[in-house]
Amino acid sequence: MRWVAALLMGMATLTVVGCMSLAQIAPPVDVLDRGVVGDSGIEVGALVRGRDHYLRHCGNCHALEPIGDYSEADWRGILPGMIKRCRLDAVKAEELRDYVMVVRGHLDRRG
């Protein structure tokens, strides 16, 4: 049974490392620049849901893509096609799109 113990420990380690790196790939809403969030006019609750859709849907076919790896213009090109692949309803699709764009704005403001 030693390999089961090793495996479970491996999973636990990945869980911890995974949670840490997730904050880099798709930052939680509470660390985002307040000015950017405020200017977007989007409710914080909707952004939190948008992040959740991102985590639940965008890593199911390929590894989750760090939002910072693509520019705002890139995302405008990429998102429509990827959202379609996720089969999200219109509300969820909008929340996901808003979240990505606000994170992009946050990263741009931070430089």
Residue among 7 and 79 whose Cβ is closer to ligand HEC = 79
Q: How far is the CB of 22 from another protein (least distance, A)?
A: 7
Q: How far is the CB of 60 from ligand HEC (least distance, A)?
A: 5
| Residue 83 amino acid letter | I
Q: DSSP assignment, residue 69?
A: G
* Pattern 6-45, ligand HEC, x by CB under 6 A: ----------------------------------------
Residue of 22, 46, 48, 86 interacting with ligand HEC (CB under 6 A): 86
Look at the chain and count its residues.
Answer: 111
Joined tokens for residue 75: 């995302």
Binding of residue 55 to another protein (CB under 8 A): yes
The closest alpha carbon to 42, from 107, 6, 91, belongs to: 91
Residue of 46, 48, 64, 79 interacting with another protein (CB under 8 A): 64
| 32 dihedral zone (left: phi>0; alpha: psi -120 to 50; beta) | beta
| 87 dihedral zone (left: phi>0; alpha: psi -120 to 50; beta) | left
Interface with another protein (CB under 8 A): 3-4, 7-8, 10-11, 14-15, 17-19, 21-22, 52, 55-56, 59-64, 85-87
